[in-house]
Each structure stands twice: as structure tokens, then as C-alpha cells.
Chain A
Amino acid sequence: MSETYAGDASGRRETGDRFAHLRGTAGEEQIELDREERGFIRRRSWRLLVQLSVGVRRKLLLTAIFVVIAQAAQASIPLIVAWAIDWGLPRMTEGRSSGMWLPGSAYIACAVTAGILIFHYTRMTAEASQEMLFTLRGEVFRKTQALSLDFHEDYTSGKVISRQTSDLESLRELLDGGVNSLVQGVMFMFFTGVTIWIMDWHSGLVLFAALIPIAVMARWYQQNSEVAYRRTRVSSAKMIVHFVESMTGIRAVQAFRREDSRSRQYRRLAAIYRDDMIRSISLFGVLQPSLMLIGNLTVTAVLLWGGYRVLEGDLSIGVLVALVLATKRVFQPLDMIAMFYNSLQSATAALEKVSGLLEESPSVTEASSPVHLKDAAGDLVFDRASFRYSDAGPVVLHELDLHIPAGQTVAVVGRTGAGKSTLAKLLARFYDVSTGAVRLDGVDLRELAVADHHRHVAMVTQEAFLFSGTIRSNIALGRPDAAETEIIAAAKAVGCHELIMELPEGYATDVAKRGGRLSAGQRQLISFARAFLADPAVLILDEATSSLDLPSEALVQQGLERLLGNRTALIIAHRLSTVAIADRVLVIDDGRVVEDGAPAELAEAGGYYAKLHAAWQTSMGA
């Protein structure tokens, strides 16, 4: 059904869902959100992040532990030096060499431990982050494949690519650098902070007070950067969409001399992206020095207060030195944590979009307990089936009762826009009926297992899209486990074997490199071979013969009968020559079947088809 989100959203609105406009990809370009809207979108992003961590949580935990131990090992090194001087040296002067060996080897042991752990946590971080990205890539891919055609008609391929590349890239930055710097930073700050409290709680208070401006800054940054990063996601997607479209349509761009105007447009989009990017980076450029300033002010405050107390004799100089140094140190990791926070903001903005895409639900789905149909005879029934693209839209197909017995070849004819293709799309389940049902061998298509449906029903469309790869792999798309001989047999059956053998590398010819060399007709023949190989019980040809050139069409006419064989076939016919091989003809007009019968019968009946037939006779004679 076409109303994926338009319809669902309106349905939700009735039930009072105030986030309906943000569900799925609907609110993708909305940049300013109110409090609750923010919360809704953030929750969705976070849920996704948490879900992704399933399976790598142990690894992440282990990574964190390794980080802590490696940090501890490195932090203990100055202690070992101190120990060497305080304890080792006196022992050595006593003539005992252990005073030298023990600290020395402890030092080396710490270094080696730290090194090995650094190796492992760097490796494990990458493994965990790549695992999560891999899962997410797969999820997004699966989702985009599952979504119905009406979704893709609105959402451009450029946007899907942008979700899959630049959005995931931001997430990757977070995952790669994030865990380490966060754990390291927090650990370090915590321990140093505790040390300060223990040494002198007055200074601890100062430190505590510093948290207030830090929190204010963090809040300021969060609010602003969230909007700023969301903006960059939108502008980067726009830039990518323009890029992808210009490159895939390069022939039209060049032939119609639009390089210059498209380049200007791209420059504008790139400049917007640049500005948005600089704005978000500048926010961090304010945050980072501000935090540093707060840190340094705190050091000054500790020094000042401590200095007074030294003068009053409440504090020893040694402790004050240690305190100010520790206060200076405690803020060092703040930089790293801020950077983590920065990539977190950037990644969440990206996750907002990705999670929205994942939230989209296909309008055509598999039933929860699908019916399996191992073999299909190909008996088709349209039972009071009607169809409209949306609840409010016009009826494209009026209530239709139709039975196509197994093995029958049915030609569907009618004017452009009469609703012929709708029959095909309903059978192929590009859409589901609005009312009534379509049944294959008595099973409602909506109940039928998707895999079985695909095995039994195949469709050849007007566009013969070839995927990068060899001719062989393109035919094998019909049935990936087919043997070479079967592929060749399929090509021979539809009459494209010779044409393939004329190509430089035969079946191994790469279509991406030489795709320009295959004409639309040749590509269509290859898609026929694909259908032949799939060997479905029901075959749908949707105006599939229109772009064949003359020699190809002649070949296909021969091959078509072999392709049809004993299958049930629904041919959206374009040319009368195709109608000629049909057992039965349906004439569709304005979403209704107006004539239905064997060609010979209809020719006698004096309706549309009779006229059709007469015209054909005339042209044969001509």
C-alpha cells in the first residue's frame, strides 16, 4: 500500500500520537525541535545504539578493563622510580644488587604490560566498533530492501547512500575514539579528584564548585551543538543527493550543458555544508578553551585560598604544591572527554537519521505465521480485489473477481493508465490489495511465505536493470544456485546466447564496464533469461517487450513461448503480436475488466477486442 507513512501517520494522529510527524523519515529535515520532540528523537537514537552493542558488550567491558589496567600500569611508573630511589638505592649502597634489579624489572614489567594491553584494547575497540557498524550497515541495507516501492519513490538513493556512508562515518568516529578516551579520562579525573579531597577538603570544595560552570558550559554546548550537528546531517545529505544524481545522470548533464549550473548548485550546497560544519566545530572551539579556562581559574583559586592558609599556618607548603599540581592535572582529561562529547553529539545527530530510516515499516510484510507452499500449480484468484494508493486516493482498480487457472496465458490490454500494471503489481506484491484478496493456489498472497511467493511468482519489468558484475551473474540473479549449463540453457531459450557469445568475454563480460555497449533490447533479453532461469509457476511480463529492437523481438517471439511453457502467465501487452499467443484476453478500462474471453470469442463479440483484432488483421494484410 502506498500510504506507508502518510497513511500510518494520519492514523496515528487520530490516536493522538504527537510525534507522528517525526516517526520514520518524516521529520528528517526538521532542525529545530521542542523539548519533547528532542526527547523522542534522542531516545530513538540511544535505543539503537544500545541495541547495536548487543554481542559486543563483553568486548567493550573487557576493553574498558584493559584501559584501566594499562592506565594503572603507566601511572605506577613514577611510583616505581620513587621506590627505586627511596628503597633501591640504600640497598645498593649496602651492596645488595636486588636494590637495582627489582625496581628495574618492575619498571620493564609495567611497560610491557601497558604495551600489550594497549595493543589489545586498540584492536578490540576496532573489532567492537566495526562489528557494530557491520551490524548497522546490514540493518540499514535490509531495511531499505524491505521497504516498499512507494518509499523509494520519495526517498532518493542519494539519501540512502548518505545514511550508509557519511552518517555511519560519524558513528564510527565515536566508537573508535570514544570508549578509550572516556574511560581513561573519567578514571583519571576521579582518582585525582579523590586524592585532592583526601589531601585537603577545602580545595575539594573549590573543585566541586568548578563543576557548576562546567555543567553550565556542557549544557550550553549540548543544546547548541545538537541543533548544529543536525543541520550538518541535513546539509550533507543534500550535497550527497546532488552529487549522486549528477554522476548517475552524467550523460544528460553533458548533453544538455548543465555542468556549469549543476556545479554552481553543488558549490552552493557545499558552502552551506561548510558553514554548518564550521558552526558546529566553532561551538566546540568555544567549549574547549572555556573548560580549560575554568580549570585554570580553579587552579588559581586553589592557590589563592591555599596561599592564605599557608600564611596562617593552616597548610604546609608541600601540601599546597601537591594540591595545585593535582588540580592542574585533574582538568587535563577534560579535553579528551570534551572531544568524546563532541563526537557523541555528531554521532547522535547521525543516529537520529539512521534510526528514523530503520523505524520505517514496509507496507508489504510477511504474515506472522506464513503459509508455506512447496510447489505451486499457478492457479490465481482475484477475490473482490480493489486497490487505491492511499485512503484518500482515487480507486485504481475497482472490485475485481477473476480466476486464472493454472497454465493459462492471459494478455492484459487497455489504454495507458487504465490500471493494467496494477494487476501485475498486486500479483508481484509490490503493493497489497486495499480490499478483497489475491490468492495463489488458494492461499492469500498476504498469508503466503515471502520466500515461497518469490519462488513461484516472478516479474519482468520495463526497466531491465543490470547490476555490476558479469552477464552470468546477472542471469543467475533469477536463481543464484543455478549451474553454468542451466544459465546457458536459459539464455538459449530466450534467444540471447548468440548475442552474449559475440561479447568479448562471453558470459564473463563485465556489464559495468561494457554496460554502455548493451542496448536496451539486449538488456531486456538478459532479463528474460533471468526470468526463465527463475522458473516460476507464475510469470508476469509488465510491458517487457517494448524496448526490444526488431531482431531481438523476433528472437523473443520465438523464445517467449518457451519462456511461457506451462506457466501461468500474465502479460501486460503492448503489442498485438504478444496478444496473439495468449489463451485469454482481458481488456481493462478505467480500473475495470470490461471484456474477458478467448481471443477468438472476443473477436466475434464486437467489443473493444474485436476492434483490436480487426486492426491487427488489417495490419497483417498491409
Chain B
Amino acid sequence: MQRESGAQGTEASGRRRTLWQALARLGPYLGGLKLRWTLGLLAAIAAGVVALSIPQVLQTLVNSLLDDGAQVSAVWSASGVILALGVLEAVLVYLRRFFVIPPASDAETSMRTRLFDKLQDLSASFHSAWGAGQLQSRAIADLNLLRRWFAFGSLMLITSVVSLIVGFTLMATLSPLLAVVFLGAALPIMVIGPKFRQKFVHFSRASQDQAGDVATKVEESVHGIRVLKAFGRGDYALEGFTQEADELRDLEVSKARTLAKFLMAMVILPEGILGLCLLIGLWQVANEESTGVSVGALAAFFATAAVLKGPIEGVGMMLGMTFTAKTAIDRHADVMDTDTEITSPATAKTAEEHGVLELADVHFRYSDAKDGERDLIDGVSLRVEPGETMALVSATGGGTSTLLNLIPRLYEVTGGAILIDGVDVRDFALADLRSRIGIAFEDPILFSTSVKSNVLLGTSHLRDADDPQNPSRAAAPAEEDLEQAMYGALRIADAEFVEGLPQGVDTPVGEEGLSLSGGQRQRLALARAIAASPSVLLLDDPLSALDVRTEEAVTLRLREALQGTTTLIVAHRPSTVALADRVALLEHGRVTEVGTHSELLERSPEYREVMSASVRPVSAEEVLSYE
């Protein structure tokens, strides 16, 4: 799912979707909202009616009750009525909010958490195509807007429309001819309405998307801050950001201009027509004998028209808000409608855990690869025996990291199959599959929490008892052994430096572990892969930032501590290769040679070339640390 095709495709589908269809999409979230929303609507309408009636009642009360010779009691009863109406109005306004706000916030929250859940289930390829900023703007700003629309905009829109209808009916009874003329104002509005809608929806969609792009720029500029600082390209980043922010400003201004035009029409058309009505009305009154329109009727007509003024303006504003809300729904639906490609099968298989890893003619290509292009993984067949350490060396064309990601189904194979303990990885329940595998990515991804929580990420540490993603495994460390498992893993990964941190293993490490050095982060990521004692361990050049001495020590400890752990390790250095039982050479997306290091040196010229490309890169640290 690529953003370009995705966003454009769904924008089109968003345009096809009517407001009602968009609202229907929200059905599942609105369970608790419907009844209370209806009550809120009734309260809003009632409050509107009371508000409209108070002046009328006042007028009649004062005129009729306080006529000449009235009693003190009349003053009190008139005041009592007004007081009652006044209290009623305030109570109704309070009730409207009381009814609507909690369920609207609930709907907002449940949309937000479902979006979050959905995003977590979407594959890594989806996430590499959509920036975190884009997703964040959908999760926060869009949903805040929807809440406000549910709690306020939708009610006010309906209330305004109801007031319009009531007012218009009143008007029609006073002077049918004038009412018809006034209705004439609605015709041009019907013509410009859809145009306005189309334009406004376009700008509102574009500006909401743009806001996401701005957020993405911000996110990138902070994540890439070291590069920007190293090259002093803060100004360049600023320029890129300014462009995006500028575009956002332009879109917002265009959106406001569209709305402003509509609001102008909503004032000039009805009021202009009323001016015409005044002309006609004056003429009618002047010829009262033939037309039957009295001065009183004319005055009453304009009094009613004045009452309609508020609702007409309100309808204009609320329509704007409604269209923006619809865009937010569309944007939400875009994500929710994305297929979750990688899911657990309906009936999952499982197998006893031995750690046999088998790749059978595995193919993989990115969905945006061109037609003529060869697959990135172009038919890899490989079998790693339980407990064996297999090094994966890439001659040309790369693909090693991708291959590792296919095994825990972070990406899905596009051909062939990967089997663990004889079962296709696609037939395992995801949690079952992934609990068997420990992985260290080429960039260590740490979370802003304690060292301990980071290392024990794959274990039952800080999981709820009913966490469905924590299947029981015989090999997994028990709750009471977690501490021990953590220290064991830290020792194996040579990450004992954590003891020296201010709060030891409870020290919070910064976002993505920024406050640790590259090598330290990498070792924590390695400890994390090991801590859950998986039966299949996938290591993507996990020691690149370490010196060879540490790498050797770690690898030796690994082999010693993880007897029975099948390990597939992407190796970029002969030192790593030499420690593996066997080596697989990946060339142009295929495994061309498998054998021990010395066998391959002997029989494969490509392998010799790769190995001789670099002398054994002894590191300085290695030698210096020998004392």
C-alpha cells in the first residue's frame, strides 16, 4: 500500500462517498452516542424555541398584564413566567452539553484507539510509505474536530434548519407572495451550494493532508537532527519545512476564502431578496384595497425575517464545519479501509519447538517494483538445522535485511514459503510465530522507557495476564526468572555498562535510545533479541558498531549460552563468518553457495572475492583492550 496510490485512490473514493455514507461508516463508534445525541438535539431545539419565545412572551405579558389598573400580583406572575422560562433555557443548554459531550468524547476516543490498533496491525511497508506525522494528524486533530462536530456542529446545523423552517412557515402565513419571493433566494443558493461544497471539500481535504505533511517534516527534522547539525543544513531543512508550512497557509487561506464567498452569498442573497420584498411590500401596502396586505402584516413579515437571519448565517458556518468533518471521516476511513495484509490464519497450525528454519524458493518484491525488474529475493532456498548458526553473506544486490524481515512476517513473501519446524510461517498464529523468534534489526529501535523494559520487550515483562500476544512457551523465561534472563542477556551482549548508568537497569533511555552511543544501543537491541530465549534468532549485522573483540566474545558467549538456538546472522565481516557453522552466499537475490567458510573459500571465486575485498578488519579497540 503506497501512499501515492493510496491517498489519491482513497481521495477519489472519499469524493464519491456522500456525507450520509461517511456517517454510516462511523456506525460502530456511535453505539452509545445515538440516544444521547437525540436527547441532546431535542434539548438544543427546545432551548432554541425557548430563546425565540422569550421576547414574544415578554411582549405579550407586559402588554396584556400591565394594562391600566393592573395589580401587584400581575407583576409577580409575569416575572414568575419569565423567570421560569429563563431557568428552563439555562437548564436546556446545560442538558444539551450534558447529553452530548461524554458520548461524543467516547466516540472520539474509541475512533482514536481503533485507529491506533489498526495502524499497529498494518505492515511495515505501509508504515514506511506513510510518515508518522500524517498518521498522527489523523489520530489527533481530525478526531478532535469530529468530536466538536458531533457535540456542537451537527446539533447547531439541525437546530438552525429547524428554526429556518419554522420561521419560513410563519412568514408564509403572513404573506404568501413575499414568502415565494423569499424562497426565490434559495434557488441561487441551491446552485452555488454544491459548487461551494465541492471546492470547500477539496481545500479542506488538501489542507488536512498538508497539515500531516508538515507534521512529517517536523518529525524528520528532529529524527535527522544529527545529520542536519553535522552539515549545518538547518537552514535547508527550514526551507523545506517553510515550503510545506507555506503551502498549508495558502490552502487554509483558500479554504477560508471559499467559505467567505459562501457566507457573503448567504447574506447578500436573502437580504437582497428581502430588499426586493420591501419594494414589493410597500407597493402592496400602498394598494391595500387590491392586494389585501396591511401595514401590520408587512411589519410582522420583516420581524420574522429578522429572526431568520441568525439561522441562515448559522447554516452557512455549520455547513463549512460539516464538510470539514466529512473530510476527517474520509481520512479516517482511508486508513481503516487499508487491508491488513499480514494476519493470523483462521485456523492456525502450530508445531513443537525445535528451531528448524527452512526457506523454500522464497521470492519477494516490493509492491511498487517495476514490471521488468527481478525480484529482490529471487528464489532463496536454505535449510538451517536446529542449533546451527548460519551466516548470510551478500555478494551483490543485497536483500539480506529484507530476507530476515520475511521470517517473522514483518513483510510477506510474494512467492515460495518459509517454514519453521515444518509449518509455513503463514499458517502459524502471528503471536505463536513471533514468540519463537528473536530479532535484532540493523538499526536498534529502542523505546523511551527503562533499560529493563527495553531488554524484556519480548518477554512477559509488563504484560497483562490476558495479553493474547504472549503464548506460553516451554523455553520462555518464567515471570520470576525475568530478572535473571535480563542479566543473562545483558552479559551475553556485553552490555554490562548498564550497571554504570545512574539508575542501573531502571535508567530510562531516551527516545530511540538517543542518549546512548551507537554501540550501546546495538548491544541493548541484541540483549533484547536474546532475552526471551527464542528458538530462532535473527541477527542483522548486530555487532557492526562493536569492536571485534566484543563481537568475538559475544558470538562465543552466544554459541555457548544458546545451544539449541537456530541463528541466522547477516554478516558483513569475516570475523563473524568464521564463527558460523555454515555460510550462505546471497547473489542477485539467490543463495548460490552454502558451506563452511573454508569450503566456500575453496570452491567459490565470488566468495573469495567478497572475503578478500577486505582484510580481516581488526579493530583498534580489540588490540587496545587486550591488556
- Contact A266 B252, beta carbon cutoff 8 Å: no
Report the minimum CB–CB distance from A512 to chain B (whole Å).
Answer: 7
For A257, the chain B residues whose CB sits under 8 A away are 430-431, 434-435, 458, 469-470
10 contacts between A and B (CB under 8 A): A104-B278, A130-B249, A157-B218, A161-B215, A245-B512, A254-B124, A307-B66, A574-B547, A574-B619, A615-B623
Which one of B79, B211, B286 contacts A93 once the chains associate, using CB atoms below 8 Å? B286
Q: Which residue of A lies closest to B397 (CB)?
A: A502
- Contact B229 A608, beta carbon cutoff 8 Å: no
- Contact B511 A156, beta carbon cutoff 8 Å: yes
A271 to B108, CA, bound (A): 10
Most buried by A among B437, B518, B550: B518
A510 to B214, CA, bound (A): 18
Q: Which A406-435 residues sit within 8 Å CB-CB of chain B? A: 413-417, 421, 428, 430
- Whether B468 is near chain A, meaning CB under 8 Å from some CB there, is yes
- Whether B231 is near chain A, meaning CB under 8 Å from some CB there, is yes
For A118, the chain B residues whose CB sits under 8 A away are 260, 263-264, 267
Q: Which A149-163 residues sit within 8 Å CB-CB of chain B? A: 149, 152-154, 156-158, 160-161
- Contact A513 B128, beta carbon cutoff 8 Å: yes
Q: Which residue of B lies closest to A576 (CB)?
A: B618
A256 to B231, CA, bound (A): 35
- Contact A546 B401, beta carbon cutoff 8 Å: no
- Contact B230 A459, beta carbon cutoff 8 Å: yes
- Whether A304 is near chain B, meaning CB under 8 Å from some CB there, is yes
Q: Which residue of A lies closest to B458 (CB)?
A: A256
- Contact A100 B283, beta carbon cutoff 8 Å: yes
Report the minimum CB–CB distance from B13 to chain A (whole Å).
Answer: 21
**Interface mask (A120-153 → B, CB under 8 Å = 1, otherwise 0):** 1011011100110110011001101110010011
Report the minimum CB–CB distance from A114 to chain B (whole Å).
Answer: 6
Which one of A153, A254, A463 contacts B515 once the chains associate, using CB atoms below 8 Å? A153
Which one of B120, B144, B224, B237 contacts A169 once the chains associate, using CB atoms below 8 Å? B144
- Contact A246 B79, beta carbon cutoff 8 Å: no
Q: Which residue of A lies closest to B459 (CB)?
A: A256
Which one of B113, B119, B511 contacts A267 once the chains associate, using CB atoms below 8 Å? B113
- Whether A219 is near chain B, meaning CB under 8 Å from some CB there, is no
A616 to B616, CA, bound (A): 9
A286 to B97, CA, bound (A): 9
For B15, the chain A residues whose CB sits under 8 A away are none
- Contact A281 B405, beta carbon cutoff 8 Å: no
Which one of B117, B144, B256, B624 contacts A414 once the chains associate, using CB atoms below 8 Å? B624
Which one of A88, A130, A550 contacts B611 once the chains associate, using CB atoms below 8 Å? A550
Q: Which residue of B lies closest to A122 (CB)?
A: B260
- Contact B614 A550, beta carbon cutoff 8 Å: yes
Interface residue tally for chain B (C-beta within 8 Å) = 194
Which one of B255, B402, B457 contacts A256 once the chains associate, using CB atoms below 8 Å? B457
Report the minimum CB–CB distance from A66 to chain B (whole Å).
Answer: 11
Q: Which A250-269 residues sit within 8 Å CB-CB of chain B? A: 250-264, 266-267
**Contacts A254-B124, A513-B2; is A324 near B224 (CB within 8 Å)?**
no
- Contact B620 A573, beta carbon cutoff 8 Å: yes
A514 to B368, CA, bound (A): 9
Q: Which A291-310 residues sit within 8 Å CB-CB of chain B? A: 292-293, 295-297, 299-300, 303-304, 307-308, 310
For A89, the chain B residues whose CB sits under 8 A away are 282, 285-286, 295
> What does DSSP make chain B's interface, helix, strand, loop or mixed?
helix
For A261, the chain B residues whose CB sits under 8 A away are 462-464, 467, 469
- Contact A554 B252, beta carbon cutoff 8 Å: no
**Interface mask (B293-307 → A, CB under 8 Å = 1, otherwise 0):** 001001100100010
- Whether A24 is near chain B, meaning CB under 8 Å from some CB there, is no
For B299, the chain A residues whose CB sits under 8 A away are 81, 85
Q: Which A572-607 residues sit within 8 Å CB-CB of chain B? A: 573-577, 579, 587, 589
Report the minimum CB–CB distance from B82 to chain A (whole Å).
Answer: 5
A462 to B443, CA, bound (A): 11
**Contacts A416-B621, A467-B224, A554-B613; is A145 near B237 (CB within 8 Å)?**
yes
For B49, the chain A residues whose CB sits under 8 A away are none
Q: Which B1-28 residues sit within 8 Å CB-CB of chain A? A: 2-4
Which one of B216, B435, B447 contacts A249 once the chains associate, using CB atoms below 8 Å? B447
Q: Which residue of B lies closest to A572 (CB)?
A: B620
Which one of A152, A165, A252 contacts B211 once the chains associate, using CB atoms below 8 Å? A165
Which one of A115, A126, A164, A247 contacts B257 once the chains associate, using CB atoms below 8 Å? A126
Which one of A112, A165, A463, A504 contacts B140 once the chains associate, using CB atoms below 8 Å? A165
**Interface mask (B223-243 → A, CB under 8 Å = 1, otherwise 0):** 111111111111011100110
For B121, the chain A residues whose CB sits under 8 A away are 259
Closest 9 CB pairs of A and B: A454-B232, A296-B86, A126-B256, A111-B271, A307-B75, A554-B613, A115-B268, A413-B620, A122-B260
Q: Which residue of B lies closest to A249 (CB)?
A: B445
Q: Which B543-601 residues sit within 8 Å CB-CB of chain A? A: 544-545, 547, 550, 572-574
Which one of A84, A246, A247, A551 contacts B395 once the chains associate, using CB atoms below 8 Å? A551
- Whether A519 is near chain B, meaning CB under 8 Å from some CB there, is yes
Which of B130-138, B350-358, B420-428 touches A?
Answer: B130-138
Report the minimum CB–CB distance from B280 to chain A (whole Å).
Answer: 9
Which of A11-19, A39-47, A235-243 touches B?
Answer: A235-243
**Contacts A142-B238, A285-B101; is A259 near B117 (CB within 8 Å)?**
yes
- Contact A165 B141, beta carbon cutoff 8 Å: yes
Which of A29-37, A352-360, A373-381, A520-528 touches B?
Answer: A520-528
Q: Which residue of A lies closest to B218 (CB)?
A: A164
- Whether B610 is near chain A, meaning CB under 8 Å from some CB there, is yes
- Whether A108 is near chain B, meaning CB under 8 Å from some CB there, is yes
Report the minimum CB–CB distance from B407 to chain A (whole Å).
Answer: 10
A520 to B443, CA, bound (A): 8
- Whether B173 is near chain A, meaning CB under 8 Å from some CB there, is no
- Contact B133 A161, beta carbon cutoff 8 Å: yes
- Contact B545 A547, beta carbon cutoff 8 Å: yes
Which of B31-39, B54-62, B189-197, B485-493 touches A?
Answer: B54-62
Report the minimum CB–CB distance from A252 to chain B (whole Å).
Answer: 4
For A328, the chain B residues whose CB sits under 8 A away are 54-55, 58
- Whether A74 is near chain B, meaning CB under 8 Å from some CB there, is yes
Which one of B66, B550, B573 contacts A317 once the chains associate, using CB atoms below 8 Å? B66
A438 to B303, CA, bound (A): 81
Q: Which residue of B lies closest to A170 (CB)?
A: B144
- Contact B544 A547, beta carbon cutoff 8 Å: yes
- Whether B381 is near chain A, meaning CB under 8 Å from some CB there, is no
- Whether B519 is near chain A, meaning CB under 8 Å from some CB there, is yes
**Contacts A123-B260, A263-B120; is A468 near B223 (CB within 8 Å)?**
no
- Contact A160 B214, beta carbon cutoff 8 Å: no
A120 to B259, CA, bound (A): 11
- Contact B232 A450, beta carbon cutoff 8 Å: yes
Report the minimum CB–CB distance from A617 to chain B (whole Å).
Answer: 10
**Contacts A77-B306, A453-B232; is A550 near B573 (CB within 8 Å)?**
yes
- Whether A38 is near chain B, meaning CB under 8 Å from some CB there, is no
**Contacts A161-B136, A252-B445; is A169 near B141 (CB within 8 Å)?**
yes
Report the minimum CB–CB distance from A516 to chain B (whole Å).
Answer: 5
Known: A89-B282, A118-B264, A310-B66. 10 other contacts (CB 8 A): A92-B282, A111-B274, A157-B219, A166-B141, A243-B132, A248-B445, A254-B408, A462-B545, A514-B368, A548-B572
- Whether B398 is near chain A, meaning CB under 8 Å from some CB there, is yes
Report the minimum CB–CB distance from A79 to chain B (whole Å).
Answer: 11
- Contact B230 A153, beta carbon cutoff 8 Å: no
A573 to B211, CA, bound (A): 43
Which one of B91, B109, B234, B264 contacts A271 once the chains associate, using CB atoms below 8 Å? B109
- Contact A576 B619, beta carbon cutoff 8 Å: yes
- Whether A103 is near chain B, meaning CB under 8 Å from some CB there, is yes
- Contact A504 B369, beta carbon cutoff 8 Å: yes
A549 to B246, CA, bound (A): 41
For B271, the chain A residues whose CB sits under 8 A away are 77, 107-108, 110-111, 114-115
- Contact A274 B106, beta carbon cutoff 8 Å: yes
**Interface mask (B71-101 → A, CB under 8 Å = 1, otherwise 0):** 1101110110011011101110110011001
- Contact A289 B572, beta carbon cutoff 8 Å: no
